[in-house]
Structures are given as C-alpha cells and as structure tokens.
Chain A
Amino acid sequence: MNDIRIIIAGILIFLIGFSESAIAGSAVYGNRLYNPGQLKPVDSRLTVKIGEKAPDFTLPSLSGKPVRLSSFLGEKNVMLTFIPAAWTPVCSDQWPGYNIAKGLFDQYDTSLIGISVDNLPTLFAWTREMGGLWFDVLSDFWPHGSVSSTYGVLRTDGVSERAIFLIDKKGILRFIHVGDINLRPDLGMIVNELKKLN
C-alpha cells in the first residue's frame, strides 16, 4: 500500500514537472501570464457537424458593436477562432500570429472572428498588451459560454476549447478543428482549409 502511494507521488512529481514545461512564450508579456499547466487535451463534445448550418449568434465585441454571425451571409466566409482564456501562455501566442496573416484571410475572402468566454474589459486589456488586433474579438462571457456551449466546445471548467470553425458564405460549416488545448493549431492547416472554401 505504501509502495503504491509512493509510486503515485512519483507520478505526481512528474506531472508537476511536466506542467511547468512552458511553451515558447513571447517576452512581450513578461511575467504577467497565468500558466494553468498541462490540461486535459479536449474536455467537451461537439454539437455541430461539417455540412450543417452554423448556429447563428450575436455577441458583444471589442469594436463596440454587437456582432451577428448571419450578417456575413452571402458576403464573406467566416473563421471563428475560440481560445480558452486570456492571459494564458498558448492563447497569448495564437492571435498575434493571425495579426500578421491578414493578407491570407483577405486572399480567401474570409472574416476572422475571435471568441473567448472572458469579459470585454479583460479582452480589451489583454489584446492591448499584444499591441492590438486587426480582427474583431467577441465576448462569450454572459450568459456564460452560451455560444461555446451551442457549438459544443465549452469545457467542464467553464472555458472553451481551442477550436476553429470555418463557415462558408452560405453559412455552412466547412471545417471544424477542436485541437489539444495545450497546443496552437498550425497556420498551415488553416490556410489549406481556407483554400478549399473557394
């Protein structure tokens, strides 16, 4: 019994060590990021499928105006990028990458929309720290995580998955990626899927 407890302690020591292994966080944030450690890769079940109509929603945005998904119908493809939480390492080094890729999204006639369950003041401060973003960021804070829940990407701890949904101009879901929350999705994968939209 004692041995089992000791072995479990050993595994815990390993897990603590593993959770401390950081990603290559940008120096821009100094020590102002909260590291939640290694998390369960996926902790939710999708409720939507490729080929289905993307559920419509309206959410408040950093631009000041509520954003309705259906307002893009017939005009633009849409990429929804859900990130789990502001002020955390992987999320803080995901959207700044899209910041230099505007040309790619324009090339494929796609509007990029960021979504987080954080409230607007938090998102405002966090995106300011990044140096600003060219795309709009929506807050799925209240009712808490309702859009994340509708799409089936709300985790049991109240944050969303790290997920990407590509929706074409007809409002149809064309690509869904719910990746390991601990890892950034590859931009190359996104661009490959954007190409298929047109």
Chain B
Amino acid sequence: MSEDALKALLMADEPATPLARDLSFTIEVMQKVERRRLIENIALCTGACAALAVLLYIVMPHVTPGLITLGQAATPAVIMLACLAMAAFGLYQIRPALREFGIRL
C-alpha cells in the first residue's frame, strides 16, 4: 500500500474525524476553564484568609492595648482602610471583565 493510499484510508475513518467547528465542544472547554478558575480563586482566597487569621492571631495581643488607648479616634481610619481593601479586592476580581471593555488595571 502506498503512503497516499494509507493516508486516504486513515482520513476516511469516520470516528476519528470530528466536526470542523463544534460549538458544544468549545462551550464545554470554556466551562471547564471557568470551573478551574473558580477553584483557583477559592483556593487563593482561602489561603489568604487563613494567612491573615494566623497573622492577626499573632499580632492582635500586641496591638490591642494600643488600639484601646487610641479609642474611638481610630475608628474612621479603620473603616476607611477596610473599605479601600474591599474595593481593591473587588477590582482585582473583575479585572478580566474590565479588560473586555478596554480598561486595563
């Protein structure tokens, strides 16, 4: 059998020849990509929260007396810092969507 004849035989093999552009296949791939991204984000957030909890557990006994001394004067600054941190985290999470609108962060 010549190479061309073998090639023709292999190419005529129906089960091995999928559609040129199968939208359902692409959708399934993108679903798996999203699932993986979600799992990675959850793992990242869980790790960051655990690290923060450990850090606070170590630091708070030393910081608490200082905070009590400052009293209510520090409250606005703490609230502002917390709001800024949440906004920064939110922007970080939605930056792929913002990129689609031409906004790069």
Asked if A and B bind, the verdict is no
